[in-house]
Amino acid sequence: MKIVVIGGSGLIGAKLVAKLGEHGHEAIAASPRSGVNTITGEGLAEALDGASVVVDVSNSPSFEDAAVLEFFETSTRNLLAAEAVAGVGHHVALSVVGTERLSESGFFRAKIAQEKLIKESSIPYSIVHATQFFEFVGSIAEAAADGDTVRLAPVLIQPMAAEDVAGAVGGVSVGSPVNGTVEVAGPERFRLDELVRQGLSARDDPREVIADPHARYFGAELSERTLVPGDDAILTETRFDDWLSRSAIGK
């Protein structure tokens, strides 16, 4: 089965292409690097020719409110239009657990817009909502940093390894369209401040993490369960301690 992975050279995309290839699928990594641009449309028709499934794990190069909205709306419209012409039977998109609860954030408003376009299109679809990646703990700290302190709301979060995200997206992409949303999450729950504190400590980062109930998360104020999935979520296996140990070995 030919599966085109939009954003196939990125963190999740590269892992996904490898996993699909290992299972005997013709997995095509499509990105500007390979001559496929979903904003301009360059190379899109050629890449989708003969494809059964398109998986969109791309991300905006800018997180500025207007730019990120323009990226996801333009890219998704162009992609869905090209899929309709090519006869693609399944559109899979990676999104984020809690997206619909984070509309104060420009990034998440853009993801909401992306999902709306997918749901309104004629292409059968599956949307995968994943929790935050272990790999982005450092980015969360940077976004919340003020000098030597990092302020984060002590709310629940259930993060997962990027490798497991790719595995979950791959599983959905080779199945039948659900025409709905599938949630995936890691096996453990943390408090957000505790997770980042542990991640920074493992990297000998001296910044102090302060629990602040009103600290914003990429522009949005959080409640206790904003970032955690529902009871029907698929849970993956990799634990944060184990991931940290492997990451330390790979330094």
Per-residue pLDDT tens for 132-164? 999 999 999 999 999 999 999 999 999 999 999
**Where do runs of H (alpha helix) occur along the chain?**
11-22, 44-48, 65-86, 106-120, 137-143, 162-173, 192-202, 240-249
Domains of the chain: 2-249 (3.40.50.720)
pLDDT tens digits, one per residue of 205-249: 999 999 999 999 999 999 999 999 999 999 999 999 999 998 864
pLDDT of residue 60 exceeding 50: yes
Computed over every residue of the chain, the mean pLDDT equals 96
**Nearest 5°: CA angle at 163, between 162 and 164?**
90
* Pick from 177, 187, 189, 170: nearest CA to 228: 189
Could you tell me the sign of the dihedral formed by the alpha carbons of 110, 114, 119, 125, in that order? negative
Residue 248, pLDDT score: 63
Q: Is 11 helix (H, G, I), strand (E, B) or coil?
A: helix
pLDDT of residue 117 exceeding 90, the answer is yes
